[in-house]
Amino acid sequence: MKLLTLTVGTLSTNCYILVDDVAAECAVIDAGDQGKRIAEELARRNLVPKYVLSTHGHADHTGGVLAVVSLSGGQFGIGAADRDMALAPPEWLTAILPGFQAPPQPSLLLNGGEVLHVGNTVIEAIATPGHTPGSMSYKVGDEVFSGDTLFRGNIGRYDLPGGDGGQELASIRGKLLTLDDAVRVHPGHGPSTTIGHERRSNPYLQG
């Protein structure tokens, strides 16, 4: 699997394109904004998305999904518990995202434990609730896409509607820190890191 990263929108969301090594297929994670730009990038590389996944229902992680799915194809997948939030996003968030487009009805509602195949690439959905009730992380080999649950040196906000700090920490400790130190972590915003680095130095995960 080859990984492409585009940073999109006002809130600089990381949009990841997971390109399979054998099939001309890919998966898109967090088409958060600028869906047309993402679709153009896919077309330029002759890639067809099989899945267009969001890590959670916040508008800065779903705002480009409609354009990508309409222009390039793919099944939109999201955590089941974030479906309603994704389809009817709160105004406090869309107000700061000019040109926001609500995503289409998801064709894939995830609860964690699902295994998706894109050519030889295997994507495992891991439920990591807390930032939102339906937050999902996606693990592909030694890479994990952590959305707004775990960042380099930080953890996601849990003071927004639907957020739960205790649940978020339990998700990070129980589902992410249980992975090997060498696993690379690709968050929804900001630079990538590793599980080992966060285990040792993330101030929110000490003690």
CA-CA distance, 89 to 2, in Å (whole number)? 32
Q: How far is the CB of 40 from Zn ion (least distance, A)?
A: 25
DSSP string, 51-79: EEE-SSS-GGGTTTHHHHHHHH--EEEEE
CA-CA distance, 111 to 155, in Å (whole number)? 21
Q: If binding is defined by CB under 5 A, does position 82 make contact with Zn ion? A: no
Which of 25, 30, 41, 148: binder of Zn ion (CB under 5 A)? Answer: 148
By beta-carbon proximity to Zn ion, the closer residue of 33 and 148 is 148
- For residue 181, give the amino acid letter: D
By beta-carbon proximity to Zn ion, the closer residue of 58 and 152 is 58
CB of 44 within 8 A of CB of 75? Answer: no
Q: If binding is defined by CB under 5 A, does position 58 make contact with Zn ion? A: yes
By beta-carbon proximity to Zn ion, the closer residue of 148 and 198 is 148
Q: How far is the CB of 49 from Zn ion (least distance, A)?
A: 22
By beta-carbon proximity to Zn ion, the closer residue of 20 and 148 is 148
CB of 194 within 8 A of CB of 152? Answer: no
CA-CA distance, 12 to 158, in Å (whole number)? 19
Q: If binding is defined by CB under 5 A, does position 189 make contact with Zn ion? A: no
Tell me, rounded to whole angstroms, the distance of Cα 74 from its chain centroid.
15
How many residues lie near Zn ion (CB under 5 A)? 2
Q: Which stretch binds Zn ion (CB under 5 A): 58-66, 67-75, 137-145, 177-185?
A: 58-66
Residues of this chain that interact with Zn ion (CB under 5 A) are 58, 148
